[in-house]
Amino acid sequence: MSYPVEEIFRRAELGEKSVFPRSDEFGYNVFGADVYDKPRRFLLLDDLLLLPPQFTPERLEKGVELLREPLYIDVDTSTTVGGFKTAMPVLCASMGGTHIANLLGIKIAEACAKMGLIYGMGENIASIRGYDERLTDQPSFKERALTYLKNMQGGGGLVIQQSVEDENMKLWEKVYTDPDFDQYIEEGLVGFEIKAGQGAKPGLGGEVLVTREVALRIKDHYYIPDDPEKVVKKYYERHSAPGTFTEEILASQIRLIKNNFPRVKVFVKTGPYRDLDRVIEIADREGADAIIVDGKEGGTGMSPVAAMRDLGLPTVSCLSAISRARERGAKISMVISGRLYDGTHVVKSLALGADAVAFGRPLVYSCLARIPLAQWFIKNELFRVGPLASLSKRLLSTGIRLGKCVEGVMNYLKSVRLEVMLLTSALGKYYMNRLSKEDVGALKKELADLFGIRYVYGPPPGEKVVRQVI
């Protein structure tokens, strides 16, 4: 599916200015909503609209508090997710040890820390890139983790995944007993995330390509179809197990973290599974601090094409599971992800019951946007061209040192934050937890039914057609 990279590049360059139409066109052009769209296979959050009211009692309340008319800048975007304070209801989805995610990961870490966002570290970073010392020419697990922790400003938390294979190196125990992490663990700034799924490949384990050097090192711990001892080639497919879960296994894994690592928060990352409602219910019942649900449109470093096309529930359907759990009174923090990238996505998700939204690709692209030549390479898909592919890899490594990656990611996040403030204030609200179902309407009847929200071409729900006479 096409991904709006140009949109993200623009935000990474312009930051908050990107929220408005191009200023050089101001006065020469008029702007309006796009009404045409390409045919799509499934419904998106873009099939919902935000519905500001005329009457805004909460704005009145805020005005009384401020003793002036409230503005969008009075919107407080800070909130709590999984026991961590965060400056805005956005967190960095856990990205793993693949080339691009890991190279950029350290820059994204710094940007998230400075913006006060929760930062997730995906699986296979320590096992592929090294825990402490670099096993490749890329940052090690600890470099990434400590870059984040040392740059933290006003909120956030570090969330660490452990795959079945990372378990071989006992990553969580290693972190938990490492003096370099102890002060942060003691301050309650670290969480462990059970990886129970991913949007782009529900039911499949991690699939990545690794170099021969890496393949030789890890072949005892992963399934690699071509034995690197016998077959010599540049890249090897490396598969990791999806991990077997039953209700009991998930419940026990949560309990295990709570008992064995009592000073960390417990996160569960799951995917677009048909029994998602039950997964959320169990995570909530067992007292996990947060659950991140990745819809089928979620990003990945590598996944079978058929999986991305045909496996799993769309992000909106996953959001409806969160919505239902919220109505059941779930106490766990719930986070949605899967091709979400702007302020409208954040505000809509929160209105429909999520506590926050997780971003993956937007952070990668906004990081890339500020690397010389990277935009040009990506727009023209030059990295697909044989001889240019290795050049692009080299450009990436040097570009990261020269570029303004951190600024790109921060610019992008600032633009999203500004949108969240503008949209929330338009809805007459000033706190993230006040957003609710009344704030959204559906362009499609299916979505109106799914969420129990207003269909925009019909009357408000519960409203009698007969007018009340005052």
Partner 1 sequence: MQAQIPLEPEAFAEDIYRIVSHPVMQEVYRFRHRIARALRDFLDSEGFVEFDPILIGPVTDPGTRGAFEFRIPYYGKEYRIMRSGILYKQLLAAAMEEGRVYFFYTNLRHEPIDAGRTGRHLVEFVQVDLEVRDADHFQVMEIAERMLKHVVDEMKKYEDRLRRIWEFFGSERRELRTFSLPLKRYTHREAVEILKEHAKDPEVIKLLKEKFGVKDPASRLSFKAEIPWEWEWYMSKIHEEPFFIHDYPKGARGFYDREYPDKPGILMDFDLLAPEGHGELSSGAAREYEVTRVFARMRETNENPAIYKWYLEFLKRHGVPTAGFGIGMERLVKYVCDLPSIHLARPAPKVPGVHSP
Task: Provide the binding-site residues for partner 1, judged by CB under 8 A.
Answer: 162, 164-165, 167-168, 170, 172-174, 176-177, 179, 182, 185-186, 194, 220, 243-246, 248-249, 252-253, 255-256, 258-263
Shortest distance in whole angstroms from residue 286 CB to partner 1 = 8
Q: What's the closest the beta carbon of residue 172 comes to partner 1, in angstroms?
A: 8
3 CB-near residues (< 8 Å, 6+ apart)? 339, 361, 365
Q: Which residue has the tokens 């922790």?
A: 149
Instruction: Name the 3-class secondary structure at 145.
Output: helix
CB 119 within 8 A of CB 91: yes
Give the residue with the Cβ less far from partner 1, 37 or 248.
248
Q: What does residue 202 show for φ and ψ, rounded to 5 degrees?
A: -60, 135
Q: Which is nearer to partner 1, 17 or 174 (CB)?
A: 174
Which CB sits closer to partner 1, 145 or 432? 145
User: In which region does residue 34 sit, left (phi positive, over 0), alpha (psi from -120 to 50) or beta (all else)?
Assistant: beta
Nearer to partner 1, 41 or 230 (CB): 230
Minimum Å distance from CB 243 to partner 1? 7
Distance from C-alpha of 361 to C-alpha of 9, rounded to nearest angstrom: 12
Closest C-alpha to 222, from 169, 286, 282: 169
Pairing mode, strands 333-337 and 90-95: unpaired
Of residues 20 and 223, the one with the C-beta less far from partner 1: 223
CB 147 within 8 A of CB 121: no
Minimum distance from residue 166 beta carbon to partner 1 (Å): 9
Q: Give residue 410's identity as a one-letter amino acid code.
A: M
User: Minimum distance between the CB of residue 216 and partner 1, rounded to whole angstroms?
Assistant: 12
Indicate the residue among 7 and 167 with the shorter CB distance to partner 1: 167
CB of 273 to partner 1, least distance (A): 17
Q: What is the nearest approach in angstroms of partner 1 to the Cβ of residue 22?
A: 51
Total Cβ atoms within 10 A of residue 51: 16
For the bound state, the minimum distance from the C-beta of residue 313 to partner 1, rounded and expressed in Å, comes to 24
Phi-psi region of 223 (alpha: psi -120 to 50; beta: other; left: phi over 0): beta
Find the helix or strand (DSSP H, E) in which 270 lies.
Answer: strand 265-270
Cα-flanking dihedrals φ and ψ of residue 438, to 5°? -65, -20
Instruction: Work out how close the CB of 33 gets to partner 1 at its nearest, in angstroms, rounded to a whole number.
Output: 48
Give me the DSSP letters along 401-440: HHS-HHHHHHHHHHHHHHHHHHHHHHTT--BGGG--GGGE
State which residue, 183 or 397, has the beta carbon closest to partner 1. 183
Contact between 335 and 354 (Cβ < 8 Å): yes
| Amino acid in the structure at residue 258 | K
- Which lies closer to partner 1 via its Cβ, residue 164 or residue 443? 164
Mark out the alpha helices in 358-404 (DSSP H runs): 361-368, 374-379, 386-402
- Alpha carbon distance 455, 448 (integer Å): 5
Q: How far is the CB of 420 from partner 1 (least distance, A)?
A: 32
Q: Which is nearer to partner 1, 61 or 186 (CB)?
A: 186
Q: Nearer to partner 1 by C-beta: 27 or 179?
A: 179
